[in-house]
Amino acid sequence: MSGQPNTPLLSVRNAEVSFSTARGPLRAVDGVSFDLQEGRTLGIVGESGSGKSVLVRSLIGLVGAGSGAGVAGQVLFEGRDLRSLSPREFRQVLGTEIGIVFQDPMTSLNPVMKIGRQIGEGLRLHRGLDSKAAARRAVELLNEVGIPEPERRAGQYPHEMSGGMRQRVAIAIAIACAPKLLIADEPTTALDVTVQRQILDLLQGEQRQRGMAMILITHDLGVAAGRSDDIMVMYAGRAVETAATRDIFRSPRMPYTEALLRSLPRLTDPTHTRLSAIPGRPPDLARRSGGCAFGPRCLYRTERCDAEQPRLTRGGGRGYACFHPRGVAPGGVA
Amino acid sequence: MSDLLAIQNLVVEYPVGGGRHVHAVSDVTLAVKRGETLGLVGESGSGKSSLARALLQLPPPKAGAVVFDGQDLTQMRGQALRAMRPRLQMIFQDPIASLNPRRKVAEIIAEPLIVSGVSDTAERTRRVRAVMEAVGLDPDLVWNRRPHEFSGGQCQRIAIARALVLEPALIVCDEPVSALDVSIRAQIVNLLEDMKARFGLTLLFIAHDLAVVKSVSDRVAVMYLGRLCEVADSDSLFATPAHPYTAALMAAIPVPDPDVPLGDTKLKPGDPPSPLDPPSGCRFRTRCPHAQPRCASEVPPLRRIGPAREVACHFPLVG
């Protein structure tokens, strides 16, 4: 079943997601393509409404026909077309090969099922373990994700734990069946900064030890900088820049990426340094124009940007969707 | 600089049944100087929002004094307290939830004027227009619209206008940019800085994002589980944290630069304890890498270790 060398673990082509709204169709994800190799971490960064979460949820069937959304495009996992699988086959892949961690563990965990049983559920369903073996393995997993007194904790309910502990439990569930891909959708946004640090360390540790690939969705450029090999920047439903993490931060090509990095306050700057704000706000997706979605906020906008949508052009290991890409931007990163 | 606000031995507790209390703020003494921005940082359960609300007597604290411009607000009642209210205003984290969805923008901004007795309609209209222009809202475009027609950033501008319309001396900003998108945050931070300069404001700026706090604050106070850990001028606090908790916070910040290696928080594993049952002595000791037996038996008092630095630690990292 495993892919050929150099065949990506996950390959997404022209992913689209649209919703019909009272104001007409809204294209939340608009022709996004990317590849993810085994063992690598792809950070997907963007603001609210950029489509980053909807994109990833559509890949794993959480956004689809059942939710009134129109989904198109191809999703290949180890060369298999996920969208052509039967519901039963799809559940098997999701249960065993792809683990998912969401932002709010309180809503992703079952409030009326004991922690140990929730962790063992996938092992019983997909790995054929009996209840005893699954319970034993659940305790081992709790220990592995750093929960003290794992035997006692396995018998508790989610509400008896702190937010950080619950996220550790969610990670234990996600990795229980030893998936090849872990999807983490804003996994630390609801957590305090010191707890965030522990959870990100745990995710990265598990990933390295198990050789999993990871998709890390975040709005926090600091989190993406420290934890991903490559980054895809999304804006208004499109991928506007993709590159190795270092290249994104050192020499952004897309004016949006550059402006976003410049707008961040830096601990190295003296107090009361004026921030370089981006004017305007992200566009209304239901009223999309024909041109570049970032155009109205862009310093380098020309007539062409209003008339024509720039396509993501790839070359030299990176890609950008802009008619006026930045060179090696001096001062692009403070 | 004189103190505009002096918080003395402030205690805030909430009953949770069974005779138990959340010890939200315990014996905090802190001053805000006239014209400065004091940053207040801490994680959830640190008591920073409880402290902010207690300043405005929402509700009044269990004990302690809140001396604003020479008068102790905790000793004032009814009309006297209402007369002080215009001078202290607050901006909240969620701008959409903090605005009445049924009211027009002009009514929302005018309401504090009505409450404080400005009965002349022409005068109110003039002041609402002026403050809208100050915060970057076009009065002719926004006057009759309602909050749901605006983005989060625009709603925060409306909330700032409402806070400014009575020309307050102090604005308490409780996480004013954390609900906003990254590309909008800088706009609102810059607006607050501009308004501070233009109206001679004093700001208490509460946030968990340390980079934002560093950007706007002259001095910074760090809270943990209801107590102050450290108070210092912004540059020295960030350059050389004296309290081990401050150092851990700094090391935990995700820096948007892949060439900056991840710092070591040196924290002991485990979650923060509950404010229902805080540890004895120093409340940070259960996670502190430098904890000694003395830390469990003796509460470290906030003491001066430099010209503009105070720390509550038996074994500070500097000083």
Q: Which residue has the higher pLDDT, A216 or B181?
A: A216
For position A334, what pLDDT does the model report? Answer: 34
pLDDT at A66 exceeding the cut of 50: yes
- Report CA-CA distances (Å) from A78 to A35, A122, A140, A242: 11, 21, 29, 22
pLDDT at A2 exceeding the cut of 50: no
Mean pLDDT taken over chain A? 91
Contact A281 B153 (CB under 8 A): yes
pLDDT at A26 exceeding the cut of 80: yes
Q: Which tens digit of pLDDT belongs to each residue from A192-210?
A: 888 899 999 999 999 999 9
Query: What is the Cα gyration radius of chain A?
Result: 21
Contact A263 B259 (CB under 8 A): no
User: Contact at 8 Å (CB) between B305 and B313?
Assistant: no
Query: Which of B151, B302, B197 is closest to A274 using CA atoms?
Result: B197
Contact A264 B256 (CB under 8 A): yes
Residue B283: φ, ψ to 5°: -70, -15
Any A CB within 8 A of B138 CB? no
Q: Which tens digit of pLDDT belongs to each residue from B25-34?
A: 999 999 999 9
Contact B271 A164 (CB under 8 A): yes
Strand order in the sheet with A41-45: A98-101, A181-185, A213-218, A41-45, A230-235, A238-244, A318-320, A313-315
Residue found by looking up tokens 């020479």 in the block: B70
Instruction: Say how far apart CA B24 and CA A216 lie, in whole Å.
Output: 34
Any B CB within 8 A of A149 CB? no
Neighbour count for residue A334 (Cβ, 10 Å):
14
Within 8 A by CB and 6+ apart from B123, the residues are none
Instruction: Say how far apart CA A94 and CA B202 lie, in whole Å.
Output: 54
Instruction: Say how far apart CA B92 and CA B176 lie, in whole Å.
Output: 6
Q: Which tens digit of pLDDT belongs to each residue from A106-141?
A: 888 999 999 999 999 999 999 999 999 999 999 999
For position A270, what pLDDT does the model report? Answer: 92
Interval B266-294 mean pLDDT: 92
Which range, A281-285, B43-47, B284-288, has the best average confidence (pLDDT)?
B284-288
Any B CB within 8 A of A195 CB? yes
Interval A188-194 mean pLDDT: 86
Residues of A with CB below 8 A from B190's CB? 274-275, 277
User: Contact at 8 Å (CB) between A75 and A10?
Assistant: yes
Any B CB within 8 A of A222 CB? yes
- Report CA-CA distances (Å) from A237 to A50, A56, A81, B235: 5, 12, 23, 40
For position A120, what pLDDT does the model report? Answer: 95
A256 → chain B, closest CA residue: B183
Instruction: Say how far apart CA B89 and CA B87 lie, in whole Å.
Output: 7
Contact B187 A222 (CB under 8 A): no
Region of B35 (left: φ > 0; alpha: ψ -120 to 50; beta: rest) is left
Copy the structure tokens of residue B80.
Answer: 């006297």
User: Contact at 8 Å (CB) between A258 and A332?
Assistant: yes
* B200-236 as b/e: b if 16+ CB within 10 A: ebbbbbbbbbbbbbbbbbbbbbbbbbbbbbbbbbbeb
Interface test with B, best of A271, A276, A287 (most B CBs within 10 A): A271
Interface test with A, best of B93, B96, B150, B182 (most A CBs within 10 A): B182
Coil/strand/helix, residue B28 = strand
For position A108, what pLDDT does the model report? Answer: 87
ipTM, 2 dp: 0.89
For position A331, what pLDDT does the model report? Answer: 38
Q: Which of B215, B257, B265 sits opposite A333 (nearest CB)?
A: B257
Mean pLDDT taken over chain B? 93
Any B CB within 8 A of A277 CB? yes
Residues of B with CB below 8 A from A225's CB? 254-258, 260
Distance from CA of A121 to the nearest CA of B (A): 26
Query: Which of A44, A12, A21, A18 is closest to A228 using CA atoms?
Result: A44
Copy the structure tokens of residue B97.
Answer: 């939830």
For position A5, what pLDDT does the model report? Answer: 57
pLDDT at A62 exceeding the cut of 90: no
Axis-axis angle for helices A115-127, A163-175 (nearest 10): 10
Copy the structure tokens of residue A270.
Answer: 């003296």
Contact B271 A282 (CB under 8 A): no
Cis omega (within 30 of 0) for bond into B59: yes
pLDDT at A3 exceeding the cut of 80: no
pLDDT at A6 exceeding the cut of 80: no
Residues of B with CB below 8 A from A216's CB? none
For position A65, what pLDDT does the model report? Answer: 66
**Which runs of consecutive H residues, i.e. helices, occur in chain A?**
52-59, 87-96, 105-108, 115-127, 131-144, 150-154, 163-175, 193-210, 221-227, 245-250, 255-263, 303-307
User: Contact at 8 Å (CB) between B169 and B88?
Assistant: yes
Q: Which of A220, A245, A273 sits opposite B254 (nearest CB)?
A: A220
Distance from CA of A82 to the nearest CA of B (A): 33
Any B CB within 8 A of A282 CB? yes
Instruction: Say how far apart CA A101 and CA A191 lie, in whole Å.
Output: 14
Within 8 A by CB and 6+ apart from A72, the residues are A14, A15, A16
Residue found by looking up tokens 């990317």 in the block: A34
Instruction: Say how far apart CA B6 and CA B30 lie, in whole Å.
Output: 6
User: Contact at 8 Å (CB) between A11 and A40?
Assistant: no
Residues of A with CB below 8 A from B175's CB? none
User: Contact at 8 Å (CB) between B280 and B300?
Assistant: no
Instruction: Say how far apart CA B284 and CA B273 lie, in whole Å.
Output: 9
Q: Using pLDDT thresholds of 50, 70 and 90, give the confidence band for residue B52.
A: very high
Side-chain half-sphere exposure of B195, counting CA atoms within 13 A: 29
Neighbour count for residue B291 (Cβ, 10 Å):
19
For position A328, what pLDDT does the model report? Answer: 44
Any B CB within 8 A of A272 CB? yes
For position B272, what pLDDT does the model report? Answer: 83
B194 → chain A, closest CA residue: A274
Distance from CA of B218 to the nearest CA of A (A): 7
DSSP state of A84: G
Strand order in the sheet with B170-174: B88-91, B170-174, B202-206, B37-41, B219-224, B227-233, B309-311, B303-306
Residue A14: φ, ψ to 5°: 50, 45
Copy the structure tokens of residue A18.
Answer: 């649209």
Any B CB within 8 A of A160 CB? no
pTM listed for this prediction: 0.91
Q: Using pLDDT thresholds of 50, 70 and 90, give the confidence band for residue B270.
A: confident
Q: Using pLDDT thresholds of 50, 70 and 90, give the confidence band for residue B269.
A: confident
Q: What sign does the CA torsion over A176, A143, B250, B152 have?
A: positive
